[in-house]
Chain A
Amino acid sequence: MYRLVDHTAELEVEIEAESAEGVLVEALRAFAELLGTGDGEAVERRLVVSAADLPALLGAWLEELVYLAETEAFVPDSADLSLSGLELSALLHGRLGEPRPLVKAVTLHRLRLHAENGVWRGRVVLDV
């Protein structure tokens, strides 16, 4: 589950899930909502992302999606994820399209990914 939170100039995404992988999947869904729908050819992309800590991994994961949207017009739909320590392997399913060029970058401001009372929570502020 994710929600987009009001922020004066930027966009904050808050996420809850049952696992760290679940937070990453919800982050993809939130990002896909911001891009709009892809109506072109169905395509897949494989990614491996690593980072120094879990919050940074959430940021790095979204950065990859920003990069694919901007350079390949790739709009993600879903992903098969495998998280091993601080390394994420992903098979992305999506379509080519004309993604809305809204998100410029993923910031480290208020970045979170942690478990709290059995719930995994993520938070990320996007530069839009």
Chain B
Amino acid sequence: MSEPRRIDDTTWEIPSSSRGDMRVPARIFADDEILGDIAGDHSLEQLQNVATLPGIVGAAIAMPDIHQGYGFPVGGVAATELPDGVVSPGGVGYDINCGVRLLALPLTEPELGARREALVHEISRTVPARAGRSGGRSLDGVSLDAVLGEGPRALPDAGGGDVERTESEGRLVGADASAVSERAKARGRDQLGTMGSGNHFVELQIVESVLDEQTATVFGLTESQLTVLIHSGSRGLGHQVCTDFVKLMDARLPSYRIHLPDRQLACAPASSPEGRQYLAAMAAAANFAWANRQAIADGVRRAVGKVLGSDAAAATRQVYDVAHNVAKVEVHDGVRVCVHRKGATRAFPADSDDIPLAYRDVGQPVFVPGSMGTASFVLAGEPGSLERAFGSTCHGAGRRLSRTAARKQVGGAELRRELESRGIVVRCPSPKGLAEEAPIAYKDVDRVVRVVEQAGLARRVARLRPIGVVKG
């Protein structure tokens, strides 16, 4: 594999001439240390594979939180020119519209005081990890097809401005419930309002420092303020939609004469029957994910009401909700493209028509969760995202160790004690699951966000510090 060549302090490229099948270069946003980490796995080889997709334009792009995935790397962006460039379900991933929502509470850390543990405990009761005896929001009175078509708007209590403060207002155009298989619907039917396992969480966080006072004020954030960060996606429904269409497109590759270096990159022209059907099903799954995070936010508000009072619950305001596994039709440099973001976040700058009016002077909010127990960041989109990365930035810290390697370095009970000694309340039923998400398994999130800021993709607005963690 060719070595990346430095373009500037935080940009590297592997030219398209480095491999006979690459159609565009591979571009990586990283500093020297992060690039060293990336070189230790198959991320760059996978990025070069993405650069072979029919119709890809610009570059196959890697964010500084990139790590090896399957097919596409995690932390990547690929745009294909429409109508005939391909759409690849693997370029979105199995957890369609996995994303992050930030709620701002009307009180500070000192005002929360000794009620912290009670609040974390109550959130763990109202936001289950999975469907079953203890969890899952009933769809009584709401049809699943309505959720797939309308997203959170289909829920009876989706008011209070949450929908307006959600990427794409929580509803992707073109969603079609009939494109979603019955198997996918069966997997998702009881899962609304559940967070899932793995790296999904609900965290209680404090605004530790404000780095851009003016923008933080517009986002409604002040130092020491209490917030809740929600990380979840489309659950089993999205997993099955991706499974269905990877299989379908894999079978149809010969008919489109598409040759791929990795079977998991299975794709079809976006204008083909398979491409159109996938985009309709993926949009429906994305809508389900936004409704899921809405239902989780409702659970958080119920917990806030019980522990802190109904006034606090009523004044708990959604800052924004962003997707980081999705494909969207957008226009960049006058060209209509399908932007695949897999482990990457849209980061449109000020003056974009696609962000809420309230934020249009400062840019779109972006949330970058760190690893469990470490800082998270609120960013704002910058013009460089449009100029260099199809309006995108990073999505997290990015894994650097496998789950097994993480468990070898730290035990679940030991990690729980360490987090609690730092004043972080932990609710997680699985010590094994806790150890697999240990901070040591991830890159340094401060370094990741410094790179995207230096690269002009997004700027830092606030740094958040966790005081409570609820995991599945």
Q: Are A and B co-members of a single complex?
A: yes
A interface residues (Cβ-Cβ under 8 A, vs B):
4, 6-11, 52, 56, 60, 63, 67, 70-71, 73, 98, 100-102, 104-111, 125, 127-128
Q: Which secondary structure dominates chain B's binding surface?
A: mixed
Q: Is the CB of B129 within 8 A of A67?
A: no
Q: Is the CB of B401 within 8 A of A8?
A: yes
Q: Is the CB of A108 within 8 A of B130?
A: no
Q: In whole Å, how far is B434's beta carbon from the nearest beta carbon of chain A?
A: 13
Interface membership of B387, Cβ < 8 A: no
Q: Is the CB of B266 within 8 A of A67?
A: no
Q: Is the CB of B69 within 8 A of A10?
A: yes
Known: A10-B70, A101-B196, A108-B246. A128 touches B403 (CB 8 A): yes
Interface membership of B5, Cβ < 8 A: no
Q: Is the CB of B239 within 8 A of A71?
A: no
Q: Is the CB of B71 within 8 A of A107?
A: yes
Distance in angstroms between the alpha carbons of A119 and B186 in the assembled complex: 38
Distance in angstroms between the alpha carbons of A93 and B172 in the assembled complex: 42
Q: Is the CB of B402 within 8 A of A125?
A: no
- Across the interface, A8 reaches (CB within 8 A) one of B93, B266, B402, namely B402
Q: Is the CB of B197 within 8 A of A63?
A: no
Q: In whole Å, how far is A58's beta carbon from the nearest beta carbon of chain B?
A: 13
Q: Is the CB of A104 within 8 A of B68?
A: no
- Across the interface, A70 reaches (CB within 8 A) one of B69, B94, B187, B242, namely B187
Q: In whole Å, how far is A8's beta carbon from the nearest beta carbon of chain B?
A: 5
Total interface residues on B, using CB and 8 Å?
42
Interface bits B393-408 vs A (CB < 8 Å: 1, else 0): 0000001111111000
Q: Is the CB of B243 within 8 A of A106?
A: yes
Distance in angstroms between the alpha carbons of A107 and B251 in the assembled complex: 14
Q: A73 — which chain B residues lie within 8 A by C-beta?
A: 132
Q: Is the CB of A9 within 8 A of B187?
A: no
Known pairs A67-B183, A108-B264; list 4 more (Cβ under 8 Å).
Answer: A10-B69, A101-B129, A102-B197, A111-B263
Instruction: Give 22 pairs: A residue, B residue, CB < 8 Å, sorted on A.
Output: A7-B68, A7-B402, A8-B41, A9-B74, A10-B70, A11-B403, A60-B247, A67-B187, A70-B187, A70-B236, A73-B132, A98-B132, A102-B198, A104-B95, A105-B240, A107-B70, A108-B246, A109-B262, A109-B263, A111-B263, A125-B70, A127-B70
Interface membership of B151, Cβ < 8 A: no
Residue of B nearest to A128 (CB): B198
Interface membership of B193, Cβ < 8 A: no
Residue of A nearest to B42 (CB): A8
Distance in angstroms between the alpha carbons of A7 and B70 in the assembled complex: 10
- Across the interface, B70 reaches (CB within 8 A) one of A6, A71, A101, A109, namely A109
Interface membership of B67, Cβ < 8 A: yes
Q: Is the CB of B404 within 8 A of A4?
A: yes
Distance in angstroms between the alpha carbons of A4 and B407 in the assembled complex: 14
